[in-house]
Amino acid sequence: MNLLFSIDDRFVDQLATVLTSIAENTNAEDFQVYVIADHPLEASAKLATYCEQLEMTYHPIVIDPQDFAQAPITDRYPTTIYYRLLAYKYLPADLDRILYLDADVLCINDLQSFYQMDLSHHLYASAIHTALTNTTDVINKIRLQNFDADGYYNSGVLLMNLELIRQRVKEKDVFNYIEENRLVLLLPDQDVLNALYGDQIKSVPDELYNFDARKGRTYETISFGEWTLDWVMKHTVILHYCGRDKPWLPNKNTGRYTALYKHYYNLTLRRLASLQ
């Protein structure tokens, strides 16, 4: 199983927490962990050792800033927005698929059902928070003019069909789109993904593969009481701690899934401390 992350030194513990949750809940024989950064991470050696402890293999990928010398960037659109969209350039050519995950997720059930799904002619598999944001979904279609897409996809969890991406995703197209649409982009990398490739993304259920941890009560309501906490613990694969109030921050103790995150986070911190 190939896993992809893009972080800086501020999110090493969070990345390690994601890996802990995957190791605890996913039955796979081989984990290859690729981490893209624009400089060598200070904790790279610690991450490598921790991955080894989890029986995973760590592959740091350091991007040369000159690769994006022609890319339009500003304070709002830093170079990092390109990393997940153009990751295929830096990954081994023999990889046929990889799962990109933000560092603010937990994997609480086996990832295999998602990772092994048939992508056929799709570039990506991703989730739309349709039932949670239906009005916003319509606005985004108008804003990005991608009416053939099923909706507005969240780029925090992306299963990538690398073989097809290498053929269809071109950095020039990405650079040009950002340059030409600066005034309408709100979440740059996510907007670009949806605008250019939204009609080539396979939709997956967000309640299974990109559950917005802020919206537990809403999920329960729209499912007529089915998607309760017990249901989520049994069926949901990926919990996504979207928004600004991250569960690892001090005094951020609200939300029914915060304690679950803190369990994995504190377990990870203890294990990391034992490596020193």
**What is the pLDDT at residue 69?**
75
Percent of the chain with pLDDT over 90: 67
Supply φ then ψ for residue 118, to 5 degrees: -75, 120
Every domain of the chain and the residues it spans? 2-103+110-206
For residue range 68-78, list pLDDT tens digits in order: 777 777 675 57
The DSSP element (H or E) to which 24 belongs, if any, is helix 12-25
Lowest mean pLDDT among 58-67, 108-117, 224-233, 258-267: 58-67
Q: How many CB atoms lie within 10 A of CB 262?
A: 15
Confidence of residue 11 (pLDDT cuts 50, 70, 90): very high
- Structure-block tokens of residue 253: 């103790």
b/e map 245-254, b = 16+ CB within 10 Å: eebbeeeeee
**What is the pLDDT at residue 141?**
47
Q: Which of 40, 107, 74, 154 is nearest to 264 (CA)?
A: 107
Lowest mean pLDDT among 95-99, 176-180, 266-270: 176-180
**What is the pLDDT at residue 88?**
96
Is residue 35 over pLDDT 50? yes
For residue range 181-239, list pLDDT tens digits in order: 877 777 768 888 998 999 999 999 999 999 999 999 999 999 999 999 999 999 999 99
For residue range 103-150, list pLDDT tens digits in order: 999 999 999 999 999 999 999 999 997 655 544 554 554 444 544 444
Q: Which of 196, 187, 189, 191 is nearest to 168 (CA)?
A: 196
Residues 125 and 115: their CA atoms lie apart, in Å, by 9
**What is the pLDDT at residue 251?**
76
Residues 126 and 103: their CA atoms lie apart, in Å, by 16
> In whole angstroms, how large is the CA radius of gyration of the chain?
18
**What is the pLDDT at residue 135?**
43
CATH for the 2-103+110-206 domain, from 3.40.718.10, 3.40.50.2300, 3.90.550.10, 1.10.230.10: 3.90.550.10
Is residue 97 over pLDDT 90? yes
Mean pLDDT of the chain: 88
Q: Which of 103, 102, 108, 201 is nearest to 160 (CA)?
A: 201
Highest mean pLDDT (candidates 16-20, 136-140, 172-176, 181-185): 16-20
